Structure 1
């Protein structure tokens, strides 16, 4: 049986990844630090670990000795994550984690990257052709880790798949991204201040993000792989679907917030590698994912 370690297992993506790995028959070990274990707890091995402490990481890897690693842990809540000093700490900590993983026999790794690693330009962002960014500490540190990991993997025989995740949404979201902010504001009957809303972005439901990561860990793919829907949607259209499903007539103020002059109107994920090489396909339409998300937030805001 393959033994997989999921860092950040109690986080937004991690809880879904751990659950799907269990369904696939993996021996799943997951880490958490300050957040609580998901309730009801999944039937996997939980480890409370500070991944920024190299001694704790060494002890964890020695104890678990995983064959596979899905590295999700990082400071990743926007907008503060883009400029946080802890990005630099996570580069060092991730290198130490991966070295210990290899030293104890680990062979396969999937790392959660982000579309924020790219220089955004109008069109579909591509793993091979789109330039990478160094404009924020987040982008710089993610790309630095990826560059180091590519070189290190060649010397130690490690399979590395770097998953660049685009815009995700769904239950348990932090509440600071577009879809969750829209839903919670309408539930609270608050006015919603937006940009003009004509920009298109690539959104993927959280369960589909997790299924893509599980698909990648089970595959033989290496290198960078975009994780997205491949179907960018205008923000105004997403808002209209949310309003229709909620039966909401609250006013949305389009154009109340200026859109930065250098922000492109159309940004999509080129997902040819994910679809044709990993044989992945989404399980949710945008409408179905929004229905699940709205239902969760109704209960969350009520409580």
Structure 2
């Protein structure tokens, strides 16, 4: 599908939502963002804001009736650090997502993309594939996202909406929310603190957040339907990643590997098969892991410097 037109973007103030708004606007879409705040922050690419409680089904239907969007990208979800994996609010957001896709289809919307997660998958496969890997989520967060994939597909079929589901693996970059690995390590080292980590034997798939945004924008316009993994397709051992961040942040001797236990439901390997993304959507990442890590550490170092008091800034 090609734009431009009016696009409703939920989660526009989030970590992925911000660069996604800019990527969509650059492709010619008039982006209408949703917010729960009366004073939303400035987000490049958002042409207009709608103040709405998306967990209120009636409010979602009224939102769609007001904005009459041609396309929908639904990224809003509960993201409370340390809680979202098991937060009961996941169920409210599941209901909200179903109501939103249903309202969008009933109002004549044409194309919708939902943001899912690799946590929907059963683990154990060397590469997680949309067609062959089972969905067997181990957390309420993953289960609610998987349920929305199925329910959103049903709603889209009922209304003749073209529907795709972007399963995000591990986005990273400047502005990471609290609790994300790369940002947490870089911020602690920038503050001169020691960092306690797990043994770091897990393999993960990292994709720079601007590339994640471009991938979702490309998926929207491609017309490809169903689940599509959004990742790099490359496995990175966490202990190696931590070492690279520490070297960039100047704290290679300040990492205590193995000082923290692994959290529950923490699989050994989460790496995407990206055949659909590369071959059907035609997306290729623009930012390498080394470049992305360097950008992230520089941004966090600048953020830490700005947060210091004038007296602290003057110290040698």
TM-score, length basis structure 2: 0.90
Determine the structure 2 residue equivalent to 1:65.
68
* Structure 1 unaligned residues grouped into runs of 5+: none
State the shift of 1:208 in Å: 0.7
State the shift of 1:29 in Å: 0.8
State the shift of 1:56 in Å: 2.3
State the shift of 1:195 in Å: 1.4
More displaced 10-residue stretch of structure 1: 54-63 or 25-34: 54-63
Determine the structure 1 residue equivalent to 2:311.
none
Return the alpha-carbon distance in structure 2 between the equivalents of residues 229 and 247 of structure 1: 26
Deviations 1:44-87 (A, max 9, x none): 11112111122322222111100100000011345411111111
More displaced 10-residue stretch of structure 1: 275-284 or 175-184: 175-184
Question: Relative to 1, partners in 2 of residues 1:76 and 1:125: Cα closer, same or farther, differing over 3 Å?
Answer: farther
Paired residues of 1:71 and 1:112 also in contact (CA < 8 A): yes
Paired residues of 1:111 and 1:163 also in contact (CA < 8 A): yes
Q: Of residues 230, 233, 252 in structure 1, which corresponds to 2:233?
A: 230
Determine the structure 2 residue equivalent to 1:156.
159
Determine the structure 1 residue equivalent to 2:177.
174
Determine the structure 1 residue equivalent to 2:122.
119
Name segments (4+ residues, structure 1) moved above 6 Å: none
Question: Relative to 1, partners in 2 of residues 1:255 and 1:122: Cα closer, same or farther, differing over 3 Å?
Answer: farther
Paired residues of 1:15 and 1:38 also in contact (CA < 8 A): no
TM-score, length basis structure 1: 0.94
Q: Of residues 177, 183, 187 in structure 1, which corresponds to 2:186?
A: 183
Q: Of residues 161, 165, 168 in structure 2, which corresponds to 1:165?
A: 168
Q: Of residues 70, 75, 96 in structure 2, which corresponds to 1:93?
A: 96
Determine the structure 1 residue equivalent to 2:210.
207
Deviations 1:143-173 (A, max 9, x none): 2121122223223211110111001111111
* Structure 2 unaligned residues grouped into runs of 5+: 308-316
Determine the structure 1 residue equivalent to 2:33.
30
More displaced 10-residue stretch of structure 1: 235-244 or 1-10: 235-244
Paired residues of 1:11 and 1:35 also in contact (CA < 8 A): no
